[in-house]
Amino acid sequence: MSDIKVKEVVDLISDAGGRIVGRTRLQKIAYLLTATGLDDSFKFIYKHYGPFSDSLASSAEFGALFGDLSEVKTQTQWGATYSTYSVSGDASSEGNESRKAVASIAVASDSIELELAATAVFLSYEGYPDPWKETVERKPEKATFVRIQNAKKLLIKLSNVPVPQPIPAALYS
């Protein structure tokens, strides 16, 4: 159970304003905090929706069952389900305004544009020479011209937050 990190998930959700809609959004926010050097709680690999952490998924599930985390699963009209995570009170990590800013910007963004942005950052750090081209090839149904442009705008917003490891400027210029 040493890989279960409920407090870290609670802190992440709290820093994002106390509520995160969607498992994919939870993963991408956690990844961007990791990529910018604001968190090192979870390790990420590439999965279908981009950067993914098994430990984060397990910790969120465990926290919803036994911890200070609420997860409400809702069924969509087409039969899929999505989760809404929330924490009560102020469990926020103290004093890290950059972490709160990155999490707040990400939680307020379009979920697909967030997924595309996080994927491009991940692929950049994995050494792909053209991470946006690779993102489009991996996600052709999501990576429309407008969404890619908006994902780059999201990275510009994130780049305005002072972080230990800035997002490479080549991703949004």
CB-CB contact of 42 with 30 (8 Å): yes
Give the percent of the chain with pLDDT over 70. Answer: 95
**Over the stretch 34-75, which tens digit does the pLDDT of each residue have?**
999 999 999 999 998 999 999 999 999 999 999 889 999 998
User: Band of the pLDDT at 160, cuts 50, 70, 90?
Assistant: very high
Cα–Cα distance measured from residue 90 to residue 101, given in angstroms and rounded to the nearest whole number: 16
pLDDT at 105 over 90: yes
- pLDDT score for 90: 57
pLDDT at 94 over 70: no
- pLDDT score for 102: 98
- pLDDT score for 154: 98
Domain ranges of the chain: 6-171
- pLDDT score for 79: 86
DSSP state, 146? Answer: H
Residues 85-106 have a mean pLDDT of: 83
Single pTM value for the model: 0.93
- pLDDT score for 67: 81
Backbone angles phi, psi at 68, to 5 degrees: -95, 25
- pLDDT score for 65: 92
pLDDT at 125 over 60: yes
- pLDDT score for 95: 61
Cα–Cα distance measured from residue 77 to residue 39, given in angstroms and rounded to the nearest whole number: 36
pLDDT at 3 over 60: yes
